Amino acid sequence: MPHPSSETAVPETVLRLAWLVGLLGVAICLGCAARGTSPGRPAPTMLPPLVVAEPVPSHSKLEAGLRARLDEAPPGESLRAIVDLTEQVDLSVLSRMLRERPRSKSERRAAVIATLERVADRQQARLRPEIERLKADGVIDYVRPVAIVNRLLVEASASGLLALAESPEVAAILPDWTSERNGGRGESDSAESSAEIHESWAVSAMGIEALWDRGLDGSGVVVATIDTGAYGEHEQLRERMLGEGRGWYDPVQARPTPYDSHGHGTSVLSVAVGSNPSGRVIGVAPGAQWAAALGNWKNFYSRWRMTEAADWILRVARPDVLINAWSNDRSECSDFDLPFINAWKAAEIFVVFPAGNAGPDPASGEAPASLTGTLPDGGPVFSVAALLPGGEVDPTSSRGPSRCGSQVFPSLAAPGANLPFAALGRPTAYAVGGGTSLAAGLVGGAAALILQADPELSPAEVERILLETARPLPPPNDPDTTGAGGVDLRSLPERIGAPPATEWSSPKEQRREVRP
């Protein structure tokens, strides 16, 4: 079961990482029991375990309610399930190891991916003979391995899944779950079509011109989304998709060119990286490249699709910024997606989520935005509330306090109402609307500008810069509605040592020159 991205290694770091992956292999152990030593030799220094696997009784492996569903399934019915194996990388240990010696962000990213793949390949290979036997028996139809979590996506009959549960390599079996079967929300945020688009008020409100004036437009940075897709032919996105097979992933229909199954993904991506043609200034990082994974088909969540999209983002797209404009609709505090977030952050990807559109009641946050337990120190998921043009919080923006253990929710706020964005239908179609998804898209674009100025900043450092430069909001600045305050990059050039303003014209000025 080879991994689909095995051909997308990072050539410039492979040789330098060979020794590192070998070192990490020494630390990959199960319990790290002490070894005997020869007389006269000191006991070896034990590295912290990267992988710890505990035996799981067969009766404990099925998610609650799954056993009854399997017992009731008609013979031969194929079910979709997520099969987690016992050996999982401890990403907090891996991250600490990688930071103990100086190395570049690209080297750390490649080492994280290589370690996850190594652990997954090793154990999945041990399970392969049993899977092939069950396929030959006709009780397993399809298996897709992933590495972001050591996991198999399986289509099988009830008897096939119960047989897998007997394997000592298997830790848990969960059914696929999609919000579409339960009605879901289908729609989120608000929008209405518009034929007249000039400039988004978010550009001034966030102090974006201060960075544009210093030549910072996101060039050299890759911004990705997991969403409903992307309308790649729109004038705001055209010719800026990341190349070499790293720009687009469709796990639903496997279409080779980007499209949007709903419109939500195009709107969010456009406010992050729109190129601002013909005076239509809506994008914060118009020089950045983009990638998109269709993880939220028609704006419905699915465990299976999200796993596929998360794995592709980590191992193929390998972006610098990831905008996750979705929520897990299964329960208010579901932590199913937390391992994805930690793998992305371990791989040096800045990750941002919308707070949600379930306000104005308190404690109305949605998972995973309101979760805690992220790298590097177990802190909160980075989440964004929505602001009105006057600086007040949007009434629909979800509020804290978090019911899911996070001490901070939301993280901060950004413009999230009366915003122009790219729409479906034709390359010059636009709409105006709001919601925390658009606010998160704007913050993703802001992160791209910060990373262009200093590409070696870690995700935690980007988060800290955004929080520490945020402006207080009127009155008073309530952490449970707007977190640290409103995104404001005016002071950023001096903080990060950006070059002074020059004769170079900003993206805003360039687009005004060609305005009809």
The pLDDT tens digits of the residues spanning 218-266 come to 999 999 999 999 999 999 999 999 999 999 999 999 999 999 999 999 9
Lowest mean pLDDT among 25-39, 90-104, 246-260: 25-39
More confident call, 186 vs 61: 61
Query: What pLDDT, on a 0 to 100 scale, did the predictor assign at position 332?
Result: 83
**31 belongs to a structural domain:** no
Query: What pLDDT, on a 0 to 100 scale, did the predictor assign at position 152?
Result: 98
Q: Mean pLDDT throughout 110-135?
A: 97
Query: What pLDDT, on a 0 to 100 scale, did the predictor assign at position 106?
Result: 96
pLDDT at 268 exceeding the cut of 60: yes
**5 belongs to a structural domain:** no
Is residue 253 located within the same domain as residue 389? Answer: yes
Lowest mean pLDDT among 242-251, 265-274, 304-313, 484-493: 484-493
Q: How confident is the model at residue 509 (pLDDT cuts 50, 70, 90)?
A: low
**273 belongs to a structural domain:** yes
How many residues are present in the chain? 516
Q: Mean pLDDT throughout 98-109?
A: 92
**Which sign, positive or negative, has the C-alpha torsion 179, 253, 343, 410?**
negative
Total-model pTM? 0.89
pLDDT at 34 exceeding the cut of 70: no
**6 belongs to a structural domain:** no
Query: What pLDDT, on a 0 to 100 scale, did the predictor assign at position 181?
Result: 56
Q: How confident is the model at residue 102 (pLDDT cuts 50, 70, 90)?
A: confident
Q: How confident is the model at residue 2 (pLDDT cuts 50, 70, 90)?
A: very low
Is residue 337 located within the same domain as residue 462? Answer: yes
Is residue 498 located within the same domain as residue 436? Answer: yes
Judging by beta carbons within 10 Å of its beta carbon (0-12, 13-18, 19+), is residue 48 exposed, middle or buried?
A: middle
Measured at the alpha carbon of residue 464, what is the angle toward residues 272 and 88, in degrees to the nearest 5? Answer: 85
Residue 465: its H or E element: helix 459-468
Is residue 317 located within the same domain as residue 401? Answer: yes
Number of Cβ atoms within 10 Å of the Cβ of 41: 8
pLDDT at 506 exceeding the cut of 60: no
Residue 256: give the domain boundaries: 190-511
Among residues 152, 175, 198, the one where a domain terminates is 175
Is residue 214 located within the same domain as residue 126? Answer: no
Q: Residue 467: which CATH number? A: 3.40.50.200
Q: What are the phi and psi torsion angles at 248 (to 5°)?
A: -150, 135
Distance CA 510, CA 502 (A): 14
Query: What pLDDT, on a 0 to 100 scale, did the predictor assign at position 44?
Result: 35
Number of Cβ atoms within 10 Å of the Cβ of 429: 18
More confident call, 50 vs 40: 50
Cis peptide before 42 (omega within 30 of 0): no
DSSP string, 396-456: TS---S-SSB-SS-S-EEEE-SSEEEE-SSSTT-EEEEE-HHHHHHHHHHHHHHHHHH-TT
Is residue 391 located within the same domain as residue 456? Answer: yes
Q: How confident is the model at residue 285 (pLDDT cuts 50, 70, 90)?
A: very high
Distance CA 408, CA 372 (A): 9
pLDDT at 26 exceeding the cut of 50: no
Phi-psi label, residue 483: left if phi above 0, alpha if psi -120 to 50, beta otherwise = left
Query: What pLDDT, on a 0 to 100 scale, did the predictor assign at position 198?
Result: 77
Q: Mean pLDDT throughout 499-504?
A: 55
Q: Mean pLDDT throughout 367-393?
A: 96
**Which sign, positive or negative, has the C-alpha torsion 200, 204, 206, 210?**
positive
**344 belongs to a structural domain:** yes
Query: What pLDDT, on a 0 to 100 scale, did the predictor assign at position 498?
Result: 61
Is residue 105 located within the same domain as residue 203? Answer: no
**Count of domains observed in the chain:** 2
What spatial distance separates the first Cα and last Cα of the chain, rounded to whole Å?
Answer: 55
User: Helix 105-136 crosses helix 11-27 at what angle (to 10 degrees)?
Assistant: 70
Number of Cβ atoms within 10 Å of the Cβ of 328: 22
Buried b / exposed e across 112-148, counting CB within 10 Å, b at 16+? bbbbbbbbbbebbeebeebbeebeeeebbeebbbbbb
Q: Which of 339, 303, 333, 309 is nearest to 323 (CA)?
A: 309
Number of Cβ atoms within 10 Å of the Cβ of 54: 8
CB 350 within 8 A of CB 463: yes
Is residue 262 located within the same domain as residue 129? Answer: no
Q: How confident is the model at residue 494 (pLDDT cuts 50, 70, 90)?
A: confident
Is residue 416 located within the same domain as residue 387? Answer: yes
Query: What pLDDT, on a 0 to 100 scale, did the predictor assign at position 12?
Result: 39
Among residues 121, 146, 175, the one where a domain terminates is 175
pLDDT at 13 exceeding the cut of 50: no
CB 139 within 8 A of CB 159: yes
Among residues 175, 203, 231, the one where a domain terminates is 175
Q: Mean pLDDT throughout 7-23?
A: 42
**32 belongs to a structural domain:** no
Q: Mean pLDDT throughout 389-397?
A: 95
Q: Mean pLDDT throughout 205-215?
A: 94
Report the SS3 class of residue 19: helix
Average pLDDT score over the chain: 87
Is residue 213 located within the same domain as residue 156? Answer: no
**2 belongs to a structural domain:** no
pLDDT at 29 exceeding the cut of 60: no
Distance CA 32, CA 34 (A): 6
pLDDT at 104 exceeding the cut of 60: yes
Q: How confident is the model at residue 31 (pLDDT cuts 50, 70, 90)?
A: very low
pLDDT at 36 exceeding the cut of 90: no
Chain segment 443-460, per-residue pLDDT in tens? 999 999 999 999 999 999
The share of the chain scoring above pLDDT 70, in percent, equals: 84
In this structure, which amino acid lies at residue 300?
A: F
Chain segment 327-340, per-residue pLDDT in tens? 998 888 999 999 99
**182 belongs to a structural domain:** no
Is residue 242 located within the same domain as residue 357? Answer: yes
Is residue 133 located within the same domain as residue 73? Answer: yes
Chain segment 161-201, per-residue pLDDT in tens? 999 999 999 999 999 999 885 544 434 455 566 657 779 99
